[in-house]
Amino acid sequence: MKKNYICVGVFGGLLLAGAVLNAADGDAKKGKDLFEQNCDVCHNADSTDAKVGPGLKGLFKKENLTSDSDKKVTDTTVMEIINKGSPAGMPAFEDQLSAQQRADVLAYLKTL
């Protein structure tokens, strides 16, 4: 019995480590497709001109967010917007995209 617990513990730990690694490790190519399916209606990827939301070209080269000039552009602040959306008209993607898909989109945003 005790042995089983240890097994589950080690295996669970490995799974968890895998999930965390994956989340940090987005695939920008997949992110591009996901962006076109989910974000492109409201965001330009190739310019800073606003559509419904701000144009996202050069997002990670900017110091602060266009939508909240008090916030720096970081993985955390951008992922928060993707997760929670904004009352100003952006839907939340936390339940619509998997953690891996959101990491992929984030990786793609960094290439803009």
Binding residues for ligand HEC, per CB under 6 A? 38-39, 41-43, 52-54, 56, 59, 65-67, 78, 81-82, 86, 88-91, 93, 105
User: Could you tell me the two tokens for 33?
Assistant: 């497709």
Of 78 and 103, the one with the shorter C-beta distance to ligand HEC is 78
User: What minimum distance in Å lies between the beta carbon of 37 and ligand HEC?
Assistant: 9
Residue 93 near residue 85 (C-beta atoms within 8 A): yes
Residue (14 or 74) nearer to ligand HEC, CB: 74
CA distances from 99 to 24, 31, 70, 79, 95 (A): 10, 12, 26, 10, 9
- In angstroms, give the least distance from the CB of 69 to ligand HEC: 9
Cα–Cα dist 91/70, whole Å: 21
Q: Cα(97)–Cα(82) distance, rounded to whole angstroms? A: 10
Number of residue whose CB is nearest ligand HEC: 53
In angstroms, what is the minimal distance from the CB of 18 to ligand HEC? Answer: 24
